[in-house]
Amino acid sequence: MHVSKTKFKTAQIIALGFAAIILLGALLLSLPIAWAPGHQIKFIDALFTSTTSICVTGLVTQSTYGAWSGFGHLVILFLIQLGGFGVITCGTLVVLAMGKRVSIRNRRLIQESYNLDTLKGLIALVRKIVTGTLLVEGVGMIFYSFQFVPEYGLRRGLEISLFNAVSAFCNAGMDIIGDNSLADYAGNPLVNFTTIALIVLGGIGYLVWWDLIKLMKRLLRREMGFRQSVRALELNTKIALTATGILIFGGAVLILALEHRNPGTLGNMPFWEKCMAALFQSVTCRTAGFFTIPQENLHEASAMICMILMFIGGSPLGTAGGVKTTTVAALLLTGSSFFKGKEDTEVFNRRIPETNIRTAWVVVMLGLGVVLTSTVALAIVTEGMAEGAYLINILYEVTSAGATVGLTRGLTPILPAAGKLIIILTMYIGRIGPTTLATALTIHGEKKPSGMHLPDQKIFIG
């Protein structure tokens, strides 16, 4: 009973924590000191920027580079990093920084937020997550600096490198280079592959990291052979890595096939650059938001593929959004088992529990509900707009917001205030997760066991 109550309170803390940080960020960005010279930012745009930063989305109504001062950039960067860590992890860091002991209640919050089975080693896990994050971002900054320091000078180059590294790893997709994201670097392997690596590392999930680190340790110590070490990986890791590989390379092949003759995207590039740009597009659709090709020029078929990649997103317990790779994999495996006449959902010599399958269905249905509701609402408030408010663009924008991706076909900057509020709410729900929000809004936080079950009666399906 106590654990169930804690779970309910955890959902509330996550929802209210993100809302509080969004409001605080909006207030800071509303200060004139946060504005670039000659700019006056409305509160709705400050609220939008704060939300897109903490929700690590990347959709913007004001130029990140041009509209904000150095202080504004610092606030945005801080919000992105907080969003990447999450509310519970950040709260734990504050407690540790104050030299206080983390209480059992707070340990349970960490346990619930990371969906772990034990309280053992939670503080060490938080420290590893923070250390690993800062280390990877630091390495990414170094790689970026090889390009940006010679191009922009030491100070500006390091600022861009730091901002890009944090933004890429946290899957935010915001930058302070200009208003064209990474389009000017479409043919630059260093910038492309550094960004790809950071996005993937942030999106596969922290627990996958530690599982792979354990694998490498076993190999280095020669405790197991390679095949045995791979078999020893957690089921979550195997599914996450397999699904990630299929989505990234499968998406890249489809985008390359559909766009290779499109002069507005890949058509005028050399073949190797087309391949790199298609790979980048496939990766960034997994909730990053950087782009090297104009999204508004994509064929509608390509845009649909990108929306599917957005909706699926990254893996659990990482910085990416979406319904998650393991969720979709579980449902596809269930469908495969059904067609094979099997009662159980099995993969890698393991059985996925029925409770996981039910949860996966709920996550996908709630995700679809958010996208469809926001699409209808945005279509209503943009009706009559002469520019950009086509259904494909609205759906692309909403999917991007709900999956915390940040890719846009040019609609977000021209939205009316009501449209901006819809996208703000969609980003917020997408970041905390529709199931977390539903749990937080539930009046009764614990499930009541029933002593009896009602009789079964079949209904017609399909």
Is pLDDT above 90 for 225?
A: no
Is pLDDT above 90 for 427?
A: yes
Centre a 10 Å sphere on the Cβ of residue 343 and count the other Cβ atoms it contains.
9
The sign one gets for the Cα dihedral 287, 288, 294, 296 is positive
What is the DSSP track for 196-223? HHHHHHHHS-HHHHHHHHHHHHHHHTTS
- Pair of tokens at residue 419: 């449209």
Q: How far is CA 217 from CA 129, 222, 224, 277, in A?
A: 18, 8, 10, 34
Q: Average model confidence (pLDDT) for the chain?
A: 88
Centre a 10 Å sphere on the Cβ of residue 297 and count the other Cβ atoms it contains.
16
Q: Which of 110, 165, 51 is nearest to 317 (CA)?
A: 110
Centre a 10 Å sphere on the Cβ of residue 443 and count the other Cβ atoms it contains.
5
8 A C-beta contact, residue 312 and residue 322: yes
Is pLDDT above 50 for 1?
A: no
Q: pLDDT of 292-332, one tens digit each?
A: 999 999 999 999 999 999 999 998 888 888 999 999 999 99
pLDDT in the model for residue 96: 72
Distance of CA 122 to the CA centre of its chain: 23
Q: In the predicted model, what is the mean pLDDT of residues 351-365?
A: 91
Q: pLDDT of 88-147, one tens digit each?
A: 777 777 777 777 777 777 777 777 666 666 677 777 878 888 899 999 999 999 999 999
Q: In the predicted model, what is the mean pLDDT of residues 369-384?
A: 93
Q: Quote the radius of gyration of the chain (alpha carbons, Å).
A: 22
Q: For the chain, how are helix, strand and coil distributed in percent, rounded to 5?
A: 65, 0, 35
pLDDT band at 434 (very low <50, low <70, confident <90, very high): confident
pLDDT in the model for residue 22: 95
Q: In the predicted model, what is the mean pLDDT of residues 52-81?
A: 94
Q: In the predicted model, what is the mean pLDDT of residues 47-70?
A: 94
pLDDT in the model for residue 3: 40
Domain boundaries defined on the chain: 2-329+353-440
Give 424-428 contacts, CB < 8 A, sequence gap 24+: 424/47, 424/48, 424/51, 425/374, 426/370, 426/374, 426/398, 426/401, 426/402, 427/51, 427/52, 427/55, 427/57, 427/59, 427/401, 427/402, 428/18, 428/19, 428/22, 428/51, 428/55
For residue 35, give the DSSP letter.
B
